[in-house]
Amino acid sequence: MLTAGSDRTYAIGLDFGTASARAVALDTETGDELATTVSPYAGGRGGVISDDADPNLARQEPQDYADALELTLGGVVAQLAEQGALEHGRIVGIGVATTGSTPLPLDDSARPLALDERFRPDPAAKAWLWKDHTAHAEAAEITSLLEERELPYLAYVGGTYSSEWFWAKILRCARTSPAVFAAAASWCELSDFVPALATGAGLDMSRNACAAGHKAMFSRLWNGLPAASFLAELEPGLAALRERLYEDVRPAGDRAGSLRPDLAERVGLGGEDVAIAVGTFDAHAGAVAGGVRPGRLVKIVGTSTCDCTVTGEPEPRPIPGVCGVVQDSVLPGLVGVEAGQSAVGDLFDWFVRTLAPEGLAGPEAHERLSAAAAGLEPGASGLVALDWNNGNRTVLVDPLLSGLVVGQTLATTAAEIYRALIEATAFGARVIVEQVERYGLPIEDVVVSGGIAQSPLAMQIYADVLGRTVRLARSANASAAGAAIFGAVAGGAHPDAEHAQAAMGGVGEIAYQPRSDAVRIYERLYGVYRKLHDAFGRVDGPLSSVMKELIEIRAGALA
Amino acid sequence: MLTAGSDRTYAIGLDFGTASARAVALDTETGDELATTVSPYAGGRGGVISDDADPNLARQEPQDYADALELTLGGVVAQLAEQGALEHGRIVGIGVATTGSTPLPLDDSARPLALDERFRPDPAAKAWLWKDHTAHAEAAEITSLLEERELPYLAYVGGTYSSEWFWAKILRCARTSPAVFAAAASWCELSDFVPALATGAGLDMSRNACAAGHKAMFSRLWNGLPAASFLAELEPGLAALRERLYEDVRPAGDRAGSLRPDLAERVGLGGEDVAIAVGTFDAHAGAVAGGVRPGRLVKIVGTSTCDCTVTGEPEPRPIPGVCGVVQDSVLPGLVGVEAGQSAVGDLFDWFVRTLAPEGLAGPEAHERLSAAAAGLEPGASGLVALDWNNGNRTVLVDPLLSGLVVGQTLATTAAEIYRALIEATAFGARVIVEQVERYGLPIEDVVVSGGIAQSPLAMQIYADVLGRTVRLARSANASAAGAAIFGAVAGGAHPDAEHAQAAMGGVGEIAYQPRSDAVRIYERLYGVYRKLHDAFGRVDGPLSSVMKELIEIRAGALA
């Protein structure tokens, strides 16, 4: 199927992020990125609709997705045309990666309810963005009912249902916006909505294995979605909705359909048959672009991280505290394993925004602090920090944890604290690696992508702390590149994702090797980190009440 | 004895600090401060001789003390003369307060060895300033030999001999500068040296109870200084020195002698008989000026704190972790109790110097951060800190502890951390109050003096955390005022220190009352602080190894 010579084929990858959508066009043989275009969402602030009265609320305007789809596709097609690339080749497929869990309610023609005049101003009818936390009480209710009923639905997704996830958000809608809930013929994830929009599918749209398995408790082990009886106990309407959802899921890279003719026409692909791939989550697509395979962990490190690996073991088995162990969720045919850190770039940004002193602050604060921190020897600050300013996603799965810095003297400097925060995120990364290994999946090397991958200081610290080579992913736009890989598979340019990945993704030339002196010192510091981690973070730790109590006191003081 | 009407009497208080000496002249009846003058020491940097190769070294030039004595005395006498105050009154006495333990070696005419041509450039011949830590190994040796021999000498001074104290420094001199040690006919504390200089006393100079009891392990319970046999085991020369030191001590306010005629002449007091009081330490004098009495704790809160109270109980009993419980050390006839916090103003200065962000930094950083922090509700930050950036003096007596901040989120602000540091020092203050009370000395109110007393934010937090009225001392120069009180007693203007204190010292008009809402919240936060305090600070705490290990790792990394 692989085309060569002057008869080239291209695949487009779409990445629907939090503030904007991006499209890239990759040569399916060489993986060269030929075109890229970004389209910010028009709605809300930075694309996100918020509510001053409720900091937990984060929604998006579904129309923005439709607009961005057309604009970004049109943009890369135009760029390819301009380069003359379309004279010697053609676009065979389009893959889609999006944020998630980002569910939205649909009417019976699969149109977002938000476009219905009756619900236009109602935030409940819009897309419930991944970082919307309005459903925290509903999430806790789901977890506790599952425990009470001794149901296994969370065994493979970390043991705790999150306020960010599909069912919690829909339950919240049913409770607080019953009119929207009643009007919804169905709900879908953004990662299914965009392919449906591109193909013109109705409510029979393809549902992707990644979102279903990670966020909606879908598994073949219990015949799909959670039992109607369980859902009915939460809210009778949910059991009825279950019947209108889906019974099967498909892996990314499967062909969902063809680009619908009217849209093809408008983006400059009139008359072409372009395959649309089943969607996936952005971080999972990024992992595929980063060359994820058994024995390799790919970390997308931005404001937070998403860490993925895969295993060919026939039966997925649960890894305590790891967000997801889901069949087909990363690479078709393999079990995807997903973990994550709640704050990495966000933690460094917080420090810069809040505590960077004069002379080190300003637009180049990260560069200045990094330069100063790079001059320090490992261990020389006498500091260690916990990277929990935004809670802990893996392996403690506890949003009610908080940050800690210990070891300060009257001579401690800002650069030392900045470095300690970087080290803390590296220690957090190591906890994940060790947990995955403890449950039988050895990690030989680590590939990093995302904004923080561009920091040589952070990457060297990661290599030293992890005691492993840390390589940078080839693509700077890994999620979009991963989507393009799936687009190439759907379009027939490669027989499967592994072949497409080998040709179009993988690692670049930059690699950081662990330095033995630093490894030795970080080994000791990691021991201190683990001691603090377990004392403050484990349920049975001697200081496990401290962070909870501080949050309680804060809540009382602010009430 | 109290003079009245136009025949007024005045007392001068001398305060020999770290960078300069200050003299104040007080009316012995009203306590009004009529004159003050400050004289910086000429030697070293800011009066302190240091060594770039050894950050532990801190010495002073004895000649600077002599110069400052004459300059400050001359200064206040001239001011009094200028005001016409000497036409209707006379100076009856001079009291002396100094830093300590600040020992210096003397020749057989009580002249500092530093003035001997042979030793002029040798730092060992100079005054070993209180904050000189070169003798840390010797201090540890003293503690461990005392433990081995089961000797009780540390029972009343916190259980651990400090590198800052008399015998450790002299032992260090004997080991590293044997020529100086051999040439020393005797050693004295600065608080004995200045009165001796003023009176012209020889090696039979008066020795004050405060310095002897707190720093030289002097107690009537074991017939004075430590046994010669013990000292000989440390170093034979120390046992010989013991014979040349002293067998008795006197309380501050006792008359040490009269101002020597030549000096009186030069400072404008020719022909007058002016009493010179036995000396004391600056913080103890400050406590006296602040109205210390049974049931009242006086805190001198500057870069660090010194906290004093007194008890009339016939037998002093040890209070674990409290620096000193010493007969006559604060007020004659009472047992003085001294505790302290290693960093208060230093901690706030560190934050401002290191982490104050743009917009809050600069010369008015403390004011700006305080204004922002004052707008926060107690508990609303969700933060708690340990105030150990410079170790912990009371009640853990451990210099190898370090700072900690916990509870940070991505929304935590600099002002919140600044406030948490202030609160941490208040919690540290409360630990001291509770320890003193646990051992039978109830504390009813707290008086504060020193630089930090000028911060309404800090003082309100102290009142709220301590659950007690916090009053400000009347005098802004409490140590010098306390010295003047002792000068007045020595000069016969008052029968004893209590009478002089009542007339000349005590509290001013500013008082902070605990606010019940804040008290309730701080009660809970203090519980969290105590949990961290005990977990990290107590020898048997579950995290007691953390700070030690970080210091060890740091030492290894820097080696």
Asked if domains B8-277 and B291-473+515-559 share a fold, the reply is yes
CA atoms within a 13 Å half-sphere pointing along the CA-CB vector of B242: 22
- Using DSSP's 3-state secondary structure scheme, residue A338 falls into strand
CA dist., res. A229 & res. A208, Å (int): 24
At residue A95, the 3 state secondary structure works out as strand
Whole-angstrom distance, CA of residue A197 vs CA of residue B502: 87
Beta bridge partners of A12: A25, A94
**How many C-beta atoms surround the C-beta of residue B54 within 10 A?**
12
Pairing of strands B335-341, B305-311: antiparallel
Q: Above 60 in pLDDT, residue A439? A: yes
Q: State residue B6's pLDDT score.
A: 58
Closest CA to A180 of A169, A190, A196, A189: A169
A410–B525: do the CB atoms touch at under 8 Å?
no
Q: Which of B553, B554, B558 to mutate to test the interface with A (most CBs of A within 10 A)?
A: B553
Q: Do B419 and B375 meet the contact criterion of CB atoms below 8 Å apart? A: no
pLDDT for the residue numbered A418? 98
How much is the mean pLDDT over chain A?
95
How far CA A232 is from CA of A170, A229, A521, B95, in Å, comes to 13, 5, 54, 86
Beta-carbon neighbour count of residue B375 at 10 Å? Answer: 10
Q: How far is B387 from chain A (nearest CA, A)?
A: 10
Residue B2: pLDDT above 60?
no
- Closest among B88, B76, B97 to B26, alpha carbons compared: B76
Three-class HEC string of A345-382: HHHHHHHHHHHCECCCCCCCHHHHHHHHHHCCCCCCCC
Q: Of A480, A479, A482, A485, nearest to A92 (Cα)?
A: A485
Reading the block at residue B171, the tokens are 């032992």
Average pLDDT over residues B9-27: 97
Which tokens sit at A34? 């030929």
What number of other Cβ atoms are within 10 A of residue A316's Cβ? 22
Kindly provide the ipTM of the predicted complex, given to two decimals. 0.91
Residues 6 or more apart whose Cβ sits within 8 Å of residue B399:
B342, B390, B391, B392
Question: Residue holding tokens 């949003």?
Answer: A399
- The domain spans of chain A are 8-277, 291-473+515-559
* Residue B350 near chain A (CB below 8 Å): yes
Beta-bridged to residue B344, according to DSSP, are: none
Strand partners, B258: B275
Dihedral sign from CA coordinates of B122, B124, B130, B133: positive
Query: For residues A339 and A395, is the Cβ–Cβ distance under 8 A?
Result: yes
Q: Please give the DSSP secondary-structure letter assigned to residue B410.
A: T
Strand segments (E) across B393-474: 403-408, 445-449, 470-473
Q: Which among B417, B532, B545 has CB closest to A546?
A: B532
- Distance between CA B288 and CA B544 in Å, rounded? 37
pLDDT at B315: 75
The pairing of beta strand B127-128 with beta strand B305-311? unpaired
pLDDT in tens, B320-336: 988 889 999 999 999 99
Cβ distance of B521 and A347 shorter than 8 Å: no
Mutate to test the interface with B, among A406, A533, A534 (most CBs of B within 10 A): A406
A403: contact with B, CB 8 A cutoff: yes
- Provide the 3-class DSSP secondary structure of residue B64: helix
Interchain contact, B535 vs A550, CB within 8 Å? no
Q: Is B363 on the interface with A (CB under 8 A)?
A: no
* Least confident interval from A86-95, A188-197, B316-325, B483-492: B316-325
Are A521 and B550 within 8 A, CB to CB?
A: no
Tens-digit pLDDT profile for residues B266-321: 999 999 999 999 999 999 999 999 999 999 999 999 999 999 999 998 777 889 98
- B392 has a chain A CB within 8 A of its CB: no
Name which of A94-103, A307-316, A379-388 the model is least confident about: A307-316
* pLDDT at B162 > cutoff 80: yes
Write out pLDDT tens, residues A272-293.
999 999 999 999 999 999 999 9
The residues, ordered by sequence, that sit 6+ positions from A226 with a Cβ below 8 Å of its Cβ are A151, A153, A167, A217, A242
Q: What does the DSSP assignment read for B81-92?
A: HHTTGGGSEEEE
B322 to chain A, closest Cα gap in Å: 22
Q: What is the pLDDT of residues A399-408, one digit of tens each?
A: 889 999 999 9
Q: What's the CATH superfamily of B8-277?
A: ATPase, nucleotide binding domain (3.30.420.40)
CB-nearest partner of B408 from A402, A407, A531:
A402
Q: In Å, how far is A527's CA from the nearest CA of chain B? A: 10
Please give the span between the terminal C-alpha atoms of chain A, in angstroms, as a whole number: 64
Q: What does the radius of gyration of chain A's CA atoms come to, in whole angstroms?
A: 23
Which residue in B has a C-alpha nearest to residue A303's C-alpha?
B410
Measured between CA atoms, the residue of chain B closest to residue A378 is B557
User: How much is the pLDDT for B472?
Assistant: 97
The answer to whether A143 touches A207, Cβ cutoff 8 Å, is no
Query: What SS3 class is residue B60?
Result: strand
Mean pLDDT, rounded, of chain B: 95
pLDDT at position A1 is 37
Share of chain B above pLDDT 70, in %: 99
- What is the 3-class SS of B353-371, one letter each residue? HHHCECCCCCCCHHHHHHH
Q: How far is B73 from chain A (nearest CA, A)?
A: 36
Q: Is the torsion defined by CA of A270, A276, A282, A284 positive or negative?
A: negative
- Residue A4 pLDDT grade (very low, low, confident, very high; cuts 50, 70, 90): very low
Contact B521 A417 (CB under 8 A): no
Number of Cβ atoms within 10 Å of the Cβ of A178: 12
Q: Give residue-wise pLDDT tens across range B35-83.
A: 999 999 999 999 999 998 888 899 999 999 999 999 999 999 999 999 9
DSSP A385-413: EE--BTBB-SSS-BTT--EEEEEE-TT--
CA-to-CA distance for B291 and B472, rounded, in angstroms? 10
DSSP B204-243: T---BHHHHHHHS--BGGGTBSPPHHHHHHH-HHHHHHHH
Answer yes or no: do B379 and A557 touch at CB < 8 A.
yes
Residue type at position A266: R
B554 vs A350, A382, A543: nearest CB: A382
Domain A291-473+515-559 architecture: 2-Layer Sandwich (3.30)
Q: Number of A to B CB contacts under 8 A, please give it.
A: 183
CA–CA distance, B339 with B131 (Å, rounded to integer) = 17
**Residue B91 pLDDT more than 50?**
yes
Q: pTM for the full model?
A: 0.92
Which among B116, B97, B121, B119 is positioned nearest to B24, based on CA atoms?
B97
Give residue-wise pLDDT tens across range A324-335. Answer: 899 999 999 999
pLDDT at B53: 85
Residue A327: CB partners within 8 Å, gap ≥ 6? A209, A213, A219, A220, A316, A335, A336
CB contact under 8 A, B535 and A532: no
- Could you identify the residue written with the tokens 């809930």? A181
B182: amino acid identity, one letter: A
For B85, how many CA atoms within 13 A lie in the half-sphere containing its CB? 22
Among A13, A24, A22, which residue's Cα sits nearest to residue A41?
Answer: A22
Question: Dihedral through CA A130, CA A136, CA A139, CA A144, nearest 10?
Answer: 160
Distance CA B485, CA B497 (A): 7
User: Whose CA is closest to A106, among A76, A128, A81?
Assistant: A128
The answer to whether B146 touches B156, Cβ cutoff 8 Å, is: no
Residue A295: DSSP 8-state = T
